[in-house]
Structure formats: structure tokens, C-alpha cells
Structure 1
Amino acid sequence: MGAATDGKTSPLIALLGGGIAGGIEAACTYPFEFAKTRVQLYGHQGVKNPFVVVTKVVKDEGIRALYKGCSTMIVGSIGKDAVRFLAFDSIRLLFEDPTTHTLTPSQSILSGMLAGILSSTAIVTPSERIKTALIDDAKTTRRFHSPWHCILSLYREQGLRRALYAGYITTTLKQIGTTGFRLGSYSIIKDFERARGVDVDGPVASFANGAVAGTVTTLATQPFDTVKTKAQQAREVGTLEALRVVLKEDGVFRGLWRGTVMRLGRTVVAGGILFTANEQAVKVLKTVIGK
């Protein structure tokens, strides 16, 4: 991403750098993701603090339950961020000014949105579906022994489309918004700072800019994430049914922005980690395998 602004990052380095960053980010922030998913599936129940949810899960179900679905998310995040960083870097080259290597705000967001469609179709929807089903199963029937067993069970019961692509529309809409706002706003911030002589390539600047981008992303895309999670639970639930249930349980604002505090806690940290890890990974990779 950062290196993409000089127009010289190879597709291989963009792919590897994004994958490394995605894996690190997912491993570091998974407890927040787990807490957010639980709240979206079963309601607030008076709890908004992610640390309270995490503590209760550890106390009632054991620490292993807290990481149910973590391996699926790590693998999915590696693939997701590899694809979307590569796609974003490739797409933005089509729009950027060849002299300044910058984009207009609308071009940055559009590049991110297109990258979001690609990543949702190739990686995000299947990995999110299995992760959510595993988290749901950990609290209910506890019948899935592993991610692979979950996939096979859902395939036998619901068919391939429902097993891997339940919630595809809302996931894709979320990814269009998430990738558009996250990568787009990060690119806008960096271009703005660079034009004013600010050093944007250090880890501190990368973390701060990524955290801001993560905050904007969360607030803008939370309704899609909430409905997507409800539609991807272990039992078969359609997107419209999921939306009706969420609105019936908590109303429009409280329902659609269910889990915002917990997701915000994750995405602010995750945004900082993701972009910092990507920037540093790209630098290391360039020294090891060249541009």
C-alpha cells in the first residue's frame, strides 16, 4: 500500500506483503472479533465492553472457546489482504497521476471498492462464513470438530452455495465499503500528508493513519457487518430474514450498529497493525527479492 504510492511495487511483493500483514493483524486482534461476532449473533444482553465478553467466555467455556474459528480467520485474512492489497495496488496504478503518483479522493475510494469486490468473491465470504459458523457452534451444538469438518457438514446439509457463500451480498457490500473506506481513506491521508512534507513511511505514522482509516471504516460499514454475521450463523438463515430478526430484536440504530464498540476496538488496532505490518513487510521484501 505505502509502497504502492511510488508506483514501483511488484505484484509479488504486494501479494506477499498483504498476506503477511493480514495474518499478523488477524492473530493479534481475534478476541475482539470473537466478542463482536457473539454480540451480533445473540444480542447485546446489556454488555458492550469487549473485555467483559471475553472474560465471560473464558470463565464459562474455557480459553479454547475464545479462539474458535481463529485459524480460519487467519488463513482467510492472509488470502483476503494479499488479494486486496495486490488488487488495490494494481487498480490504483490505472488512475494515479504518473508524475506525483497520487490519486484524487474519489479515485482512491473507487480503487478500494473494486478491490473489495475481488477479495469478497475469492476469499472473504467463504472464510467469514466458516468462522461465523464455528463461533455460533461453539455456543450452541458444539458439533464441529474443525474448520474442515464444519465445511463438510454444511456442504452435506445446505449445499455448496449456502455452505461457503451464505451472506455473500452483505459480505460483498461490506467489503466494498470496508476496502473502499479503509484503503481509500488511508491513501487519501498519506497523499495529503506527503504533499505537505510529512514523513508518512515510518511505523508510527503508518499505525496512526491506519487507526484513523479503521475508525472511519467501522462507523460507515457496521450495518452490513451485522446483517452478514446474522446470515452466516450455523443454521440456514437468509439475508432478509437476518435483517428482520436484527431489526425486531433491537430496532434500526441499536440493531444495525450492534457490536460497533467491539468492532471499533478491533478495527482501530487492526488498522494500525495492518498498515504498519504491510509497510514494513514490503520494505523487507524489497531488500530480499527486489522490487
Structure 2
Amino acid sequence: MSTKAPKDKPLHSFIAGTSAGAIEAFVTYPTEFVKTRSQFARKGVAREGPITIITSTLREKGLRGLYAGCGALVIGNAMKAGVRFVTYDYFKGLLQDKNGKISAPRSLLAGLGAGMTEAIIAVTPSETIKTKLIDDSHSSKPRFKGLIHGTSVIVKEEGIRGIYRGLFPVMARQGANSAVRFTTYATLKQFVQGNVRPGQALPSSLTFAIGGIAGLVTVYTTMPLDSKKYRNSFHCAYRIFTEEGVMRFWTGTTPRLTRLVLSGGIVFTAYEAIMKVLR
């Protein structure tokens, strides 16, 4: 007898994905702020550690300083999570077997497609704006007065092409991120449901743990693709390797690890909980 689960509606996936993405982005934003600030360090200048960045920001800017550029990321993360889950569920529906299960290679392919799609629609523009807002907030005389003002100035000065600069490396990064994250999550979830808790719904605590592990795996397999310091990805890789050494590819790993472990747990737990209500 087939045990295939009913197919989720795209609208439900989008609503659950955008909601989960917004929640995850707001809760974990301070770690994203620290990671981005750590990657602004220039050669020859002592890099600040995560604790130093947090304490200096709180002292100079207050709690709001840790959320500089937050609006861009929350909106962008909500949109990209919505697109990611809708796209992944669509590809998964095409690639899964008659019992609703999907093999690791096919999940990898579905995640890759989802990540590249979200990079084009949401990630590239939102992260470009977010990064510029964080960089501006750290200057002695900030130019931007907020998300809307900052976005309008950026678009006015650089045009639409300006916020899509670096699209190729972002597509590569997001494709790899989603491929690894979804494959790890789907594989672990199927294993637990098939061997540890057969026929039972997973509690939120277990979903969070599986999502956190998926985030952990994602960090260490995709970190070299997360450098935003250069405009061209091949030039970036060459310059970083020859001038700063191979370990520079993993600069910012600690805050990114914190963020993706938390985000993996939060986004999958929120998504599954919201989907249960919508179903």
C-alpha cells in the first residue's frame, strides 16, 4: 500500500516559508551583523573578534546598532525562504518516489534549483542593500537614514544593475547552501521517521535539532563560497588564496556557524509548524 503524503499546496508553502524566513532573520540578525562586519576587515588592520564587535557596537550605537540593515534582511529573507520552499517542494514533487520519499542525489538537485532561483529573485538585491547599510552604519558619518532611504539612494546612484552585482557567486553560494541544507534535513528526517519514530509526527524539539545539524553541515561545506569582498568570484578566490592564505576562506565561520545552526533549527521548525496549521 502506498504511504505517499498528500502534496502540499504552493500557496501554503509560500506562506509558511515567508513567515519562517522572517522569524528566523529577526532572531538571528545580530550574528549576521557580526559576520558581515568581520568580513569588512582590510589587510594589515587587526580584525575584531565577535565579542569585540558586539560590545563596541552596543557601546557606540546601542541595541539598535546590532540591527542596522535588519529590515532589508528580514524582508529579503522572508521572500527568499518563500521562494526556496515553494521551489524545493515543486522539484521534490517531481523527483520523489511513489511513497513521497526522495533520495539524497535528487534532493541535492531540488535544493540546487531552489537556491539558484531564490538568489535571482530575492537574495542578491536584499543582501547587497543589507551589506551597504551595515557598512554605512559603521562609518563616522552615516549617509543612509534607514532601509527605504538607503535603498533609494543605492538604486539612484548605481541603478538596478548595482544591486545585482555579484549575481553569479550568489547563485553558486545559495545553490550550494540549499542543496546541502535540504539534503541533510530530508535525509535525517526520513531516517528518523523510518527508524526511530516510525509512523509518528516529529516533535518540534527534534525538528529543531535536525534543522540545526543541517545548518552545521552547510557552514563547513559552503563557507568558501560566502566571501563578498570582491566583485568577481574567480578573481576573489585567486586574490584571497594568493594574498591572504587558504584559511581566509573561513573568516567569519564562528558567527556564521552560530547563525546557520540557529536558523536551520528555527526555519524548519517554524515552517513545519505553520504547514501543520495550514494543512
- Say yes or no: TM over 0.5: yes
Pair 1:71–1:196, CA change in 2 (3 A): same
Q: Which residue of 2 aligns with 1:271?
A: 264
Q: State how many pairs are aligned.
A: 271
Identity of aligned residues (%): 35
Distance 2:36 2:110 in 1: 28
Q: Which residue of 1 aligns with 2:160?
A: 160
Distance 1:59 1:247 in 2: 35
Q: Which residue of 1 aligns with 2:223?
A: 222
Q: CA RMSD in A?
A: 2.0
Q: Which residue of 2 aligns with 1:64?
A: 64
The aligned amino acid for 1:127 is S
C-alpha deviation, 1:239, in angstroms: 4.5
C-alpha deviation, 1:184, in angstroms: 1.6
Q: Is the 8 A contact 1:211 1:271 kept in 2?
A: yes
- More deviation in 198-207 or 77-86? 198-207
The aligned amino acid for 1:8 is K
Pair 1:185–1:33, CA change in 2 (3 A): same
Distance 1:62 1:249 in 2: 36
Matches within 5 A, 1:184-223: 184-198=183-197, 199=200, 201-223=202-224
Matches within 5 A, 1:21-100: 21-42=20-41, 45-48=46-49, 50-98=50-98, 100=99
Q: Which residue of 2 aligns with 1:119?
A: 118
Q: Aligned match of 2:249 in 229, 247, 256?
A: 256
Q: Is the 8 A contact 1:215 1:264 kept in 2?
A: yes
The aligned amino acid for 2:96 is E
Residues 170-205 of structure 1: per-residue CA shift (max 9 Å, x gap):
111110011111112101111122221424521011
C-alpha deviation, 1:62, in angstroms: 2.6
Does the residue aligned with 1:9 lie in a helix, a strand or coil? coil
Distance 2:239 2:67 in 1: 27
Distance 2:61 2:26 in 1: 20
The aligned amino acid for 1:148 is I
Distance 2:187 2:60 in 1: 44
The aligned amino acid for 1:128 is E
Does the residue aligned with 1:41 lie in a helix, a strand or coil? coil
Structure 2 unaligned residues grouped into runs of 5+: none
Does the residue aligned with 1:87 lie in a helix, a strand or coil? helix
Does the residue aligned with 2:40 lie in a helix, a strand or coil? helix
Distance 2:123 2:33 in 1: 16
Distance 2:60 2:243 in 1: 24
The aligned amino acid for 2:157 is E
Q: Tell me the TM-score normalized by structure 2.
A: 0.90
Pair 1:62–1:247, CA change in 2 (3 A): farther
Distance 1:239 1:150 in 2: 26
Pair 1:154–1:244, CA change in 2 (3 A): farther
The aligned amino acid for 1:251 is G
- More deviation in 107-116 or 51-60? 51-60
Structure 1 unaligned residues grouped into runs of 5+: 232-236, 287-291
Pair 1:147–1:244, CA change in 2 (3 A): farther
Distance 2:157 2:240 in 1: 25
C-alpha deviation, 1:144, in angstroms: 1.1
- More deviation in 11-20 or 53-62? 53-62
Distance 1:167 1:146 in 2: 23
- More deviation in 189-198 or 274-283? 189-198
